[in-house]
Amino acid sequence: MLQFKLVLLGDSSVGKSSIVHRFVKDSFDELRESTIGAAFLAQTIKIKDTETQEDIDIKFEIWDTAGQERYKSLAPMYYRNANAALVVYDLTQKNSLSKAMSWVDELKSKVGDEDLVIYLVGNKLDLCDNVENRGGKEQEEEENKRVVTTQEADSYAKDQGLLFAEISAKTGQGVKEVFQTIGEKLYEIKKPELLAKKNREYGRNSSEAVDINIQRPNTNDPTSCCS
Amino acid sequence: MSDQKEILEQFDPLTNKDFSDNDTDKSTTESINDPSDKRNKGPNELEKKCDSQSDDSSPKGTETDEVERAITTEEEQQTNGHDDEPFFDFQLFIKQLQDSRSVPLVKYIKSFLEKFVTQRQLWTTEEQQKLINDFKLFIYGKFDEYEPFKSLDEVKLHNAKEGIEKLVMGKLYTHCFAPFTKKRLRNTVLLDKGHKQDLIADKKLREKIEEFRFIEPDNLDIIIVKPNKLKTFVNYSGIELDKVNNFKAPRDKMVCILNSCKVIFGYLKHYEPGSDDGDAKGADSFIPLLIYTILKSKVQFLVSNVKYIERFRLEEFLRGEESYYLSSIQAAIDFIMTLDVRSLTINDYNVYNERYHQNKIKLEKEKEVIKEKRLQKESSTTSLSSKATDISRHPFDEITNSMFSVFNDLFISSGDEESSKAEVEKATPTHNTITTTATQQVHMTEAQEEDIGVIVEQMEENERNETMLTLQNMFPDMDKDLIEDVCRAKKYRIGPAVDALLMLSD
């Protein structure tokens, strides 16, 4: 099993915690990793090795942060040694994208790791009139609370080399895919390193962030958690 | 600098140099290969002590022992194996260590502890961290070689690793935990930079807490529905947090921190409805409340405790949840350390300033009282030791200590005030064997073994009563018998018990 640390960043009302809640709730295996509370959650998913078609278990340790401006200075305590960061903004809040951008800047300047995977995520898609699906544009202006356009965020993400998605924690739309993509991306990045390690020593813990542990068979777990 | 490196190398258990010093290299190795063969041991004091402890450890009845052990292991696993929290059984570990086949391991431990406390009066924090970590890894490696550890399964092996950490840190506590190191040395000037910094930070944090202890939840943007409930839970969370000072083992301290956080989540989960997207239960709510809890608590030496956990908790254990909540405590400490008016939300500055100054005046008065009390105490001799025992009343560590004393040739005393005095007087920076401990040496007898059982039972009983009392106060409307039932079901662990009771109270 591979273990990755994922940190959640974003303003306090963008729904970062609810994204993780949705992810964990929709995953079928029981949540026995977290015993204290919802600020730290762990969840395992399966991905496929593109070459061998072998199933790979990926365990995310998800670190939530306090999004209020006042606690911004505490974030480094949380994102150090992270393998991935979910930077969340609210599609219906004007300022939230620029705040997300400042998180991206901070991550890029403060986290030394070149391999840090940053995923820009626009939440609350359920409140937005889904223009692409409906074809029409102006008809339902009343319902559409979107203030951040897809194009704006997308081009920023491309520019910065970030992964990007618009999702809804409320309906679950796109949530699973975000974590699946992060898992695949991290696996792709870490694979050469892992193979080298695997050859040297199998099943030993090390001090590095990424481990290969021999997973003990757990009869309680269903064989797969994600489709 | 090169001197330090030399010592580190010499001390490094992986080089095994400390054994070759004794000119009994060969016999030591032999006896390690065959633990039951004790005749060709060298004449050094170190091994004699070992002999006296394990005189009856002739190779007997290994087969039946093995079977019995296998059975009990399986049984225990069934009861403890799939619990929500791994259950730590220190007694089991001590029993394993008392096994005659563990003699070589006991010797390694003894040798390490002896060298650690005699070779130098004080190591720097970095040296301590390295020495202790290296030693733990060394001993864990040895688990693969010796029974009964060799055949332990993963869960039991984890337990044994925890056991080693608790044992070693329990004995080296006065050397490694800054407030106690200071007491042991009796002089801050002698302290190394790392420990000094810990103490300075402790003092600063305490001052900040006192300066801002009057603030209200809304100053930290904490939006709450049930202010009275919040008060109760914040109070208990703070009490749980302050328990870090009741324990010596990094794990035990960590458990106190986790319990404290658990109580906060207990409040959040059950009394705050939160927004429908569930954000109210995450870090946005938790971290401000943790800060608030610390500001309202009486916790002492929090920085020293956090640093100590960071340095001496095995990295392999300090992961996931443990790591997250330790980081959160650190973040909260950072926040409080730099706290001033600008970091707070203030609706009415007049009210705020009034409260701020009132608190200042109150604080001054409190300090006066403390000063007077101290002066009185100082005139009546033992102010230092009474203060020390104040913070060293620990239920679990008393168990540990009593076990230590039975094993005592293994352990150079350093846990209690009396012997540490002797140590400071005797020990010089050069090699110096502590003769006082040799004279204190006690043989392992059956009577003492029974004593341990009684002591342990008493301690556990006390601990259970305390947990019951805490929970009764936390849930005053609840039936006492119900609380007791829940406690029993949750093995008297406060975290899970609070959770279960909250569920019931809904």
What is the least distance, in Å, from the CA of A216 to any CA of chain B?
10
Q: Do A61 and B283 touch (CB under 8 A)?
A: no
Domain B188-345 has CATH 3.40.50.360: no
Which chain B residues have a beta carbon less than 8 Å from that of A170?
276-277
Probe site for chain B from A3, A16, A17 (most B CB atoms < 10 A)? A17
Does pLDDT of B34 surpass 50? no
Contact B307, B178 (CB under 8 A): yes
Shortest Cα distance, chain B CAs vs residue A168, angstroms: 10
* Domains and their CATH numbers in chain A: 2-200 (3.40.50.300)
Average of per-residue pLDDT across B18-42: 32
* pLDDT tens-digit readout, B92-116: 888 888 887 888 888 888 888 888 8
**Could you tell me whether strands A40-48 and A55-63 are parallel, antiparallel, or unpaired per DSSP bridges?**
antiparallel
Q: Which of A75-84, B267-276, B373-382, B448-457 has the lowest mean pLDDT?
A: B448-457
Chain B closest-CA separation from residue A57 CA (Å): 17
Question: Which residue of B237, B328, B491 is the best one to mutate when testing the A interface, meaning the one whose CB has the most A CBs within 10 A?
Answer: B328
Quote the tokens at residue B241: 């947090």
CA–CA min distance A55, chain B (Å)? 23
Q: What is the ipTM of this complex?
A: 0.82
- Rounded to the nearest 10 degrees, the angle between the axes of helix B154-176 and helix B125-143 is 150
Long-range contacts of B391-395 (CB under 8 A, 24+ apart): B391/B179, B391/B245, B391/B300, B391/B301, B392/B180, B393/B246, B394/B246, B394/B247, B394/B248, B395/B246, B395/B459, B395/B462, B395/B463, B395/B466
Kindly give, in sequence order, each residue whose CB lies less than 8 Å from that of residue B74, ignoring residues fewer than 6 positions away.
none
Q: Flag if B321 and A34 touch (Cβ within 8 Å).
A: yes
Candidates B269, B327, B495; nearest CB to A77: B327
Q: Exposed, middle or buried by CB within 10 Å (0-12, 13-18, 19+), for B425?
A: exposed
- Per-residue pLDDT band for B411 (boundaries 50, 70, 90) equals very low
Distance CA B35, CA A17 (A): 55
Q: Is A13 on the interface with B (CB under 8 A)?
A: yes
Question: Would you state the pLDDT for residue A26?
Answer: 76
Residues of chain B in contact with residue A40, where contact means CB-CB under 8 angstroms, are 320-321, 324-325
B353 confidence band (pLDDT: 50, 70, 90): very high
The Cα–Cα gap between B165 and B135 comes to 10
Residue of A3, A62, A71 for testing the chain B interface, max B β-carbons within 10 Å: A71
Residue with tokens 């008016």: B341
Q: Of B83-92, B166-175, B427-436, give the lowest mean pLDDT range.
A: B427-436
* DSSP code for B459: H
Q: Which of B457, B433, B441, B435 is nearest to B404 (CA)?
A: B441
Q: Which comes out higher in pLDDT, residue A165 or B189?
A: A165
Question: How many Å lie between the alpha carbon of A149 and the closest alpha carbon of chain B?
Answer: 22
Q: In chain B, which residues touch A (CB < 8 A)?
A: 84-85, 154, 220-221, 258, 261-262, 264-265, 268-269, 276-279, 281-284, 286-288, 315-316, 319-321, 324-325, 327-328, 330-332, 334-335, 338, 343, 345, 495-496
Predicted confidence at residue B1, as pLDDT, reads 42
Number of H helices, E strands in chain A: 6, 6
Least CB-CB distance to B261: which of A13, A37, A67? A37
Cβ burial, residue B167 (10 Å; 0-12/13-18/19+): buried
Interface of A with B in 93-122 (CB under 8 A): none
B278-305 pLDDT, tens digit per residue, is 455 789 889 999 999 999 999 999 999 9
Contacts (Cβ under 8 Å, ≥6 apart) of A165: A119, A120, A121, A122, A174, A177, A178, A181
Could you give the CA distance from residue B154 to residue A213 in angstroms, rounded to a whole number? 12
Which residues in B lie closer than 8 A to residue A70 (C-beta atoms)? 220-221, 343, 345
Chain B residue whose CA is closest to A8: B283
Query: What is the maximum span of chain A, computed from C-alpha positions, in angstroms?
Result: 62
pLDDT category of residue A28 using cuts at 50, 70 and 90: low
Q: How far out from the chain centre does Cα A114 lie?
A: 17
Structure-token pair, residue A3 = 């273990």
Segment among A83-92, B357-366, B415-424 with least mean pLDDT: B415-424
Chain B hits for A73, Cβ within 8 Å: 334-335, 338
- Which residue did the predictor score with more confidence, B462 or A94? A94
- B318-326 mean pLDDT: 91
Q: Which residue in chain B has the smallest CA separation from A204?
A: B316
User: What are the extents of the domains in chain B?
Assistant: 2-16+45-176+394-442, 188-345, 445-506
| Lowest-confidence segment of A50-64, B206-220, B430-444 by average pLDDT | B430-444
Which amino acid is it at B217?
A: P
Pick the range with the lowest mean pLDDT from A89-98, B60-69, B71-80, B425-434: B425-434
